[in-house]
């Protein structure tokens, strides 16, 4: 199967922003062949009808979702669907021998009761869900490489966890003091029309939403608890900012050792991410900007210590649609296939 030994892959849910990022990146990937695009509302339409600017590059038709045909034609399938649909599809694809990478929340949780509390639904796939691996390569690289089912992280958790992980893993902070203040571009809300994402509503404005109840909170807490070795609660507040793409997460926490200085923390972060090609720890006094990460799979991290308050401040910038979504999924696929982690992913964007 595949062209010149390339691995055939498919996307179910190709019409949204996550789907079109996957299409764009996979078309440039040297080891895969994109052979299937699936959808419901857009079934029967050329993909170029949905995204005319890709008309000269992508000649695929969006097909109805037929799991028998998908499994016969692909070795790996990306599920870029709304929450609550992947768990109805993934078990059959896995049973037919496909590797599955889910971009929704369906397979991010080790405890499905947590999932149903925050997302609803009636899960009957607990055995399958127990085999899923959380798809943050910087933390679970070896497990991802051995897995056939990946629950790819949300964009806010990706930025937040990359900022927090060294602190929790090495016990450098009082865990429950962690506060995450994160800001996202409007593409994080998806492609469907929503009042708050209209230009007239979002432009020249900045506001918080889902305060104290955002669905990414339990996802962040689950991984924080795993890193710390005990249950951790965090305060997470997301904001919508009037730009198209990008996330900046600023994390505050109380240091256990108030004698640590900025240079100490930069050294600790640099060592922690020494084998992580997509994490760029910035020099002392340099703070990340979303524009630097735009169009790439990079995460830029800046670290500061406030000796007056005894707190560390960590700033993390990513492109929410690439490192926060489709690029990270491809990063996971690379690991699953035994390829270089950086294969087929953009390392440099355009600036400004």
Catalytic site residues? 155
Place of tokens 């629950």: 151
Tell how far CA 291 is from the center of its chain: 18
- Here the tokens at position 86 are 């992947």
3-state secondary structure of 180: strand
Distance CA 339, CA 347 (A): 16
Helices vs. strands in the chain: H and E counts, helices first: 13, 14
The token pair that represents 150 in the structure block: 């990946």
What is the C-alpha to C-alpha distance for residues 221 and 231, in angstroms, rounded to an integer?
8
> Token pair for residue 37?
């695009």
Report how far apart, in Å, the C-alpha atoms of 293 and of each of 223, 289, 316, 326 are. 23, 7, 10, 14
Q: What angle do CA 74, 127, 142 make, to 5 degrees?
A: 65
Characterize the bridge pairing of strands 207-208 and 235-240: antiparallel
Q: Give the span between the Cα atoms of 153 and 130, in whole angstroms.
A: 16
Distance from C-alpha of 125 to C-alpha of 141, rounded to nearest angstrom: 24
The tokens for 282 are 């910035």
């Amino acid at each position: 199967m595949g062209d010149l030994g390339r691995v055939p892959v498919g996307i179910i849910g190709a019409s949204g922003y996550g789907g079109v990022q996957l299409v764009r990146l996979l078309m440039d990937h040297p080891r895969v062949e994109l052979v299937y695009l699936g959808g419901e509302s857009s079934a029967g339409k050329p993909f170029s009808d949905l995204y005319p600017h890709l008309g000269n590059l992508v000649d695929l038709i969006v097909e109805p979702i037929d799991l028998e045909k998908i499994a016969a034609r692909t070795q790996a399938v990306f599920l870029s669907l709304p929450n609550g649909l992947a768990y109805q599809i993934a078990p059959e694809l896995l049973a037919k021998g496909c590797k599955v990478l889910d971009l929704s929340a369906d397979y991010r949780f080790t405890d499905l009761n947590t999932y149903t509390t925050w997302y609803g639904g009636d899960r009957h796939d607990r055995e399958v869900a127990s085999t899923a691996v959380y798809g943050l390569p910087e933390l679970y690289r070896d497990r991802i490489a051995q897995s056939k089912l990946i629950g790819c992280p949300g964009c806010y958790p990706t930025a937040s966890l990359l900022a927090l992980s060294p602190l929790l893993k090495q016990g450098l902070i009082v865990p429950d003091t962690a506060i995450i203040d994160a800001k996202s571009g409007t593409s994080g809300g998806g492609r469907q029309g929503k009042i708050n994402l209209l230009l007239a509503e979002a432009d020249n404005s900045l506001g918080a939403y889902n305060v104290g109840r955002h669905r990414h909170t339990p996802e962040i807490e689950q991984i924080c608890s795993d890193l710390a070795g005990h249950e951790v609660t965090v305060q997470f507040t997301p904001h919508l900012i009037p730009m198209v793409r990008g996330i900046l997460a600023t994390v505050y926490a109380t240091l256990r050792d108030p004698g640590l200085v900025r240079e100490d923390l930069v050294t600790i972060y640099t060592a922690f991410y020494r084998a992580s090609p997509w994490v760029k720890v910035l020099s002392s006094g340099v703070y990340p900007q979303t524009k630097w990460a735009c169009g790439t799979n990079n995460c830029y991290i800046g670290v500061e210590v406030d000796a007056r308050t005894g707190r560390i401040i960590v700033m993390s910038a990513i492109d929410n649609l690439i490192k926060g979504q489709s690029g990270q999924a491809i990063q996971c696929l690379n690991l699953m296939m035994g390829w270089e982690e950086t294969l087929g992913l953009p390392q440099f964007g355009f600036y400004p």
